[in-house]
Amino acid sequence: MNKMVFTILDHEDGMELKNWFRLKGISTRSVTRLKYYGSILLNGKNVTVREKIATGDVIELHFADDEKSATPEALPLSILYEDSSVLVLDKPPQMPTHPSKKLQLGTLANAFAYYIESKGKPHSFRPINRLDRGTSGLVVAALDPLSAGKLSGRVDKRYICVCRGEIVESGTIDAPIALEKDSKIKRCVSPDGQHAVTHFRRLFTNGLISVAEVWLETGRTHQIRVHFSNMGNALVGDTLYGEADDIIDRQALHCISVSFVHPITNEIISVRGELPPDIIHLLEENNVTEFYK
């Protein structure tokens, strides 16, 4: 069982549990799972959501264990933040986030499962954000269903990308994205696509390449890659939307930082990583050092 414990505060005194769940941002779906597959304890006793709570009461939520989502595998795992509810992992390039039918090992989920199992905990992998295999950087993973539900869609992510050509100092790309005709993978800008908005700020340009900080309003598949390619500035090394590069063997895209409201404490958690060696090498080969050193 996944267990979470809360102590009732003064401003929560006298509330019914169903209203307390709503105050805490706990979804109806999560409450239903607790009722049928777990338990809700108030001061050690099973209660219904109609029970009233008082200052100092202790609420325990017990979620049923999920099925194991990946085979544990002893792989290097870079952890930039950890507590009882959330992990922030730094995914290297060329590592898939999830296993697939063709690839059951060598993924971030496998590494996560090994690490969590070594601590004696259930290891269902609940990434709040997902990165393409060739995209490196920070991935937020919730350690229980409640935290996953509260974090979903609420993580602010900042990316660093290196693209070809010169881009303007800042801008917003508002262009719908659809699956390209006759392709199962490639996307394109299309009036029939899903709403997609990308914001960027230029950090450096020498006319041949530009470095940008990027953040998203929407989370469409390949969104940054598609939007930059569509405006004529494909990411360096992106063979799907641009062309291969002699220096880097994948798209030069890295999730550099994440921030979110902690699902339990309501604190603002901000985590920033570092650029990976292959992007640093790419920049150095293009005589770019000032913005990250």
Q: Report the catalytic residues.
A: 132
Distance CA 156, CA 250 (A): 24
Exposure on the CB side of residue 277, measured as CA atoms within 13 A:
1
Phi and psi at residue 158, in whole multiples of 5°? -120, 135
Residues 225, 231, 235, 240: what is their CA dihedral angle, to the nearest 10 degrees?
Answer: 60
Unique residue bearing structure tokens 């009461």: 57
- Listed in sequence order, the residues at least 6 apart from 49 whose beta carbon sits closer than 8 Å to its beta carbon are 16, 17, 18, 21, 31, 35, 40
Phi and psi at residue 102, in whole multiples of 5°? -90, -20
Structure tokens at 206: 């020498």
- Listed in sequence order, the residues at least 6 apart from 204 whose beta carbon sits closer than 8 Å to its beta carbon are 210, 211, 288, 290, 291
Distance CA 53, CA 18 (A): 10
Helices (H) and strands (E) in the chain, counts: 6, 16
Taking every pair of Cα atoms in the chain, the longest distance, rounded to a whole number of angstroms, is 67
Residues, the chain: 293
- Listed in sequence order, the residues at least 6 apart from 33 whose beta carbon sits closer than 8 Å to its beta carbon are 63, 64, 145
Distance CA 131, CA 221 (A): 9
